């Protein structure tokens, strides 16, 4: 479901955000259509495939706390957050050797790795051009954001080593997911003229809700059926990616934990073993521990919302957080 079609619980807010998202979408297509046709074809490939568009929607919602909500600068800020997200998808698909993204062939599968990498790079070039129109503060902020995104990807690639795998996982999802969502809140507030107190609260909410989103997505991969998630259960296990419930289960001093440690030494390729591991995980403490972390980050998000005025936008942000958690069933 596209973010612009999410019911925010208020008719006036729904219309304002839907109109704003149309402007963001128009800017994305116009900007990414510039230049050589053989380049724009590649960068528009995933753009036109859709997606939730949560990040730009959050930027638009954040702008409601300023004196100039959804002005042209806010629309540009929302667009650069989405373009940055798209760039990371192109690069991630190369590193993960993915063949599908948003229901269409990934760029690396449709063309090749070099084309996918360059498409991600040109997206960042478009982002930088628009960013330059928004001022030095935005450029400086995004320089840090880019650094965090790359650090998170590299951290994930290198692995936890001798460190705590749960702490490593949390750092990765904070850098790869939380940071960019926090940036959406920061930029939406900044360019609408929101107060520093409100910008700080929006940024904090973004960090926390980013953690919730990622843990819930990882949770659904293990504990939900295909009809709910739209993907085959255990996809991460097949790729040798151990997410939070798995990491907690592997640390257990129980027969289940011991058996899992014997099986999960790398990717799993046969369906029977995946099914068996999913059954073991359902019996483990990993499920509840991961849910406890989701609850903690949800509470953190709620605390940041307490610093914002009582209004339809704050109610919408609160409901978005709860809706995300409700997906785990």
Report residues of the chain scoring pLDDT below 50: 1-4
Copy the structure tokens of residue 323.
Answer: 């809706």
Copy the structure tokens of residue 81.
Answer: 């957050």
On whether the CB atoms of residues 303 and 276 are closer than 8 A, the answer is: no
The CATH code for residues 194-328 is 1.10.600.10
Residues 109-151 have pLDDT tens digits of: 777 788 888 988 999 999 999 999 999 999 999 999 999 999 9
Copy the structure tokens of residue 312.
Answer: 């339809």
Q: What is the pLDDT of residue 241?
A: 85
Q: What is the pLDDT of residue 51?
A: 76
Ordered by start, the domain boundaries in the chain are 10-164, 194-328
Q: What is the pLDDT of residue 140?
A: 96
pTM of this prediction? Answer: 0.91
Q: What is the pLDDT of residue 225?
A: 66
Q: What is the pLDDT of residue 4?
A: 46
Angle formed by the axes of helices 196-223 and 54-62, nearest 10°? 150
Copy the structure tokens of residue 208.
Answer: 């926390």
For domain 10-164, which CATH number applies: 3.10.20.30, 2.40.170.20, 1.10.1040.10, 1.10.600.10?
A: 1.10.600.10
Copy the structure tokens of residue 265.
Answer: 């030494």
Q: What is the pLDDT of residue 185?
A: 98
In Å, how far from its chain's centre is CA 280?
A: 28
Q: What is the pLDDT of residue 323?
A: 82
C-alpha distance from residue 321 to each of 26, 55, 121, 161, 302 (Å): 27, 13, 32, 33, 9
| Same fold: 10-164 with 194-328 | yes
Angle at 249 between CA 247 and CA 254, to 5 degrees: 145
Q: What is the pLDDT of residue 170?
A: 97
């Amino acid at each position: 479901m596209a973010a612009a079609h999410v019911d925010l619980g208020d008719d006036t807010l729904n219309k304002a955000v839907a109109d704003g998202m149309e402007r963001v979408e128009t800017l994305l297509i116009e900007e990414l259509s510039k230049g050589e046709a053989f380049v724009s074809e590649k960068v528009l490939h995933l753009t036109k495939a859709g997606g939730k568009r949560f990040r730009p929607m959050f930027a638009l919602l954040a702008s409601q706390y300023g004196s100039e909500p959804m002005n042209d600068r806010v629309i540009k800020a929302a667009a650069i957050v989405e373009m940055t997200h798209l760039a990371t998808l192109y690069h991630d698909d190369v590193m993960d050797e993915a063949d599908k993204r948003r229901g269409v062939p990934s760029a690396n599968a449709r063309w090749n790795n070099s084309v996918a990498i360059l498409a991600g790079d040109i997206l960042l070039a478009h982002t930088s051009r628009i960013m330059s129109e928004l001022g030095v503060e935005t450029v400086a902020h995004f320089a840090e954001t880019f650094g965090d995104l790359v650090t998170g990807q590299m951290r994930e690639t290198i692995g936890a080593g001798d460190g705590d795998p749960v702490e490593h996982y949390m750092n990765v999802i904070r850098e790869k997911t939380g940071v960019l969502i926090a940036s959406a809140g920061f930029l939406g507030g900044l360019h609408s003229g929101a107060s520093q107190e409100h910008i700080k609260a929006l940024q904090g909410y973004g960090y926390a809700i980013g953690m919730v989103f990622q843990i819930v997505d990882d949770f659904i991969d293990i504990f939900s059926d295909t009809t709910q998630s739209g993907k085959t259960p255990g996809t991460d296990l097949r790729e040798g990616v151990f997410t939070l419930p798995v990491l907690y289960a592997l640390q257990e001093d129980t027969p289940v934990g011991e058996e899992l440690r014997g099986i999960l030494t790398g990717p799993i390729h046969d369906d029977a073993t995946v099914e068996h591991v999913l059954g073991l995980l359902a019996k483990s403490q990993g499920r509840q521990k991961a849910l406890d972390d989701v609850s903690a980050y949800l509470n953190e998000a709620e605390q940041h919302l307490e610093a914002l005025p009582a209004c339809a936008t704050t109610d919408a942000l609160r409901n978005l957080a709860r809706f995300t958690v409700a997906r785990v069933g």
